[in-house]
Amino acid sequence: MKSFKKILVKNLKKAAKILKNKVYQGDCQKILKFIPTGSVKAVVMDGPYVLHTRKGKNTGCYAHTDYIQGIASFCEGFSVDVLKEIVRICEKINGIFFCSAAQLDFYISFFQQYDNVEIILHTWQKTNPLCAKGTMLCDTEYMVQVVDKSLLDEVDTTPEHFISPKYTKLKKKYGHGTIKPVEIMTKLIEKVSEPGDLILDPFCGTNSTGVSALMCGRDFIGCELEEEYAKVSEQRIFETMEELGIEELAHDELCGSVALGNAEEILETVEKDEFDIAFVDSTVFAGVPYTYIDSVISKMTFPCVNIWVEEKNIIDVSMRYARQGFIFDIVYSYGEKTMAMVHLRKPGKIFYGTYHTSRHFYVDDGMPFQPKSKKAKKVLVEQSVGSYEDNIPYMVMRNMVLNCTQIGDTVLALTGGGLVAEICTRTDRKFLCAVQDKEELLCCAERISKAKALKGGEAFDMNKVLTFQE
């Protein structure tokens, strides 16, 4: 649609969709569909097992032992469709797959249908195998490596035979029955990739793959079905970042788009999952724009929307969406007029770090409210570089963006004179913004330009905006 005129585009669509260094909670069969074709260097994964037992069933004669019961939910194997998606997502076929003896044929037969691949077998012999009901469980795990022959110069295919104990301590700490040793995962990741490459693990459990990827300078994407393990993954990433002295994970190049026109029409041109969070300023509409909010929600697999509302509408907005299964929090209150930000989200997406939903209060100058006390904290005050009279005070919006997103996230805010665009530029987020007229557009471009200059970046070329508008 023509009205979605991009004045600041740097490969946004491609960048916005590669949401690296995140763990997505949910069924990987659904999540993988959102990962672009050819965007991942290698898959290193430890999918649900299939175990041989004396009765020939997955859980069979061991079903009553603690261990088997603990891992029963991931001993059902998984659909071959996941492997098909992996082939699509990888730049070229390049992966290492942990499996039990019973699954070797599943992996090997699948990959043998591709002409140009080499298949290598690695093993991990555990020195502390489990004894279950008088029978030792198999002490060897297999790793099937599959690589497109054109990658043989860059990928290490030497067969490995690891001999080491299982991670009994970490299993207890993180409560996951099949946690993998970071040393082994790191070695495998190093075999198939270079620093800076993106590694995918569709069944990441407690994210041993992600942790190992960070340890050796790679990025990762993980999926995990169970909320409990997805949370552990998040915790482990924090611990690893702390250990490595990393403050924030690296993300894609910063960029954004500003569209000129009507918010509803512009929204139609935005693709599904092109953004991570939306901000809706309901005060610029006549009444709460429910149809518009619903359209925003329909554009997100894991909806996450912040709605700026007047006090009289808080209950209406919150209850309407609570009844639709949303988690809602009122996260910001501001000034004498009592405006509030209602934060809605559906469970699913895991955010790292700064995400939280505790309530913040601001006073009329947009500064955080502090009770009078000697212990009052010093607060960072940052001035906007814009001259536009924003509806929401700069500091209020800035803190909302910081608290609800992480570096590299894309924020959709289809109203206003560049407030969100300025904040995103200054805090390393991406943005999809809109302005209603030429005057706002100029103001917005000027703000982005100044914000970029503040960060020492290249200032935006104002002439391009003017030319664009002719």
Ligand X SMILES: C[S@@+](CC[C@H](N)C(=O)[O-])C[C@H]1O[C@@H](n2cnc3c(N)ncnc32)[C@H](O)[C@@H]1O
Of the candidate residues 124, 229, 326, 362, the single one contacting ligand X (CB under 6 A): 229
Q: Is 208 in the site for ligand X (CB under 6 A)?
A: yes
Nearest to 189 by CA among 205, 207, 212: 212
- Nearest CB to ligand X, comparing residues 53 and 207: 207
| Residue from 139, 190, 226, 310 in contact with ligand X (CB under 6 A) | 226
Among the listed ranges 3-11, 21-29, 108-116, 310-318, the one in contact with ligand X (CB under 6 A) is: 21-29
Q: Give me the least distance between CB of 221 and ligand X, in Å please.
A: 12
Give the DSSP H or E segment for 373.
none
* CA atoms of 404 and 409, how far apart (whole Å): 10
- Rounded to a whole number of angstroms, the minimum distance from the CB of residue 176 to ligand X is 5
Collapsing DSSP to helix, strand or coil, 43 comes out as strand
CB of 45 to ligand X, least distance (A): 8
Q: Which residues contact 168 (CB under 8 A, 6 or more apart)?
A: 128
Draw the binding track, 40-79, toward ligand X (x: CB under 6 A; -: no contact): ------x-x-------------------------x---x-
* Binding span for ligand X by CB under 6 A among 204-212, 254-262, 285-293, 364-372: 204-212
155 Cβ partners below 8 Å, 6+ apart?
A: 94, 147, 191, 192
Task: Based on the shown chain and the rule CB under 6 A, indicate whether residue 176 belongs to the binding site for ligand X.
Answer: yes
Which of 5, 10, 27, 368 touches ligand X by CB under 6 A? Answer: 27
Q: In the complex, what is the shortest distance from the CB of residue 439 to ligand X, in angstroms, rounded to a whole number?
A: 49
Strand 327-334 versus strand 131-132 pairing type: unpaired
DSSP letters spanning 228-245: HHHHHHHHHHHHHHHHHT
Does residue 236 bind ligand X (CB under 6 A)? no
Assigned token pair, 321: 């969406």
Q: b or e along 55-79 (b: 16 or more beta carbons within 10 Å of the residue's beta carbon)?
A: eeebbebbeebeebeebeebbebbe
- The stretch near ligand X (CB under 6 A) out of 212-220, 221-229, 304-312, 391-399 is 221-229
Rounding to the nearest 10 degrees, give the CA dihedral for residues 185, 236, 410, 365.
Answer: -160
Q: Rule CB under 6 A: which residues touch ligand X?
A: 27-29, 46, 48, 74, 78, 176, 178-180, 203, 205-206, 208, 223-226, 229
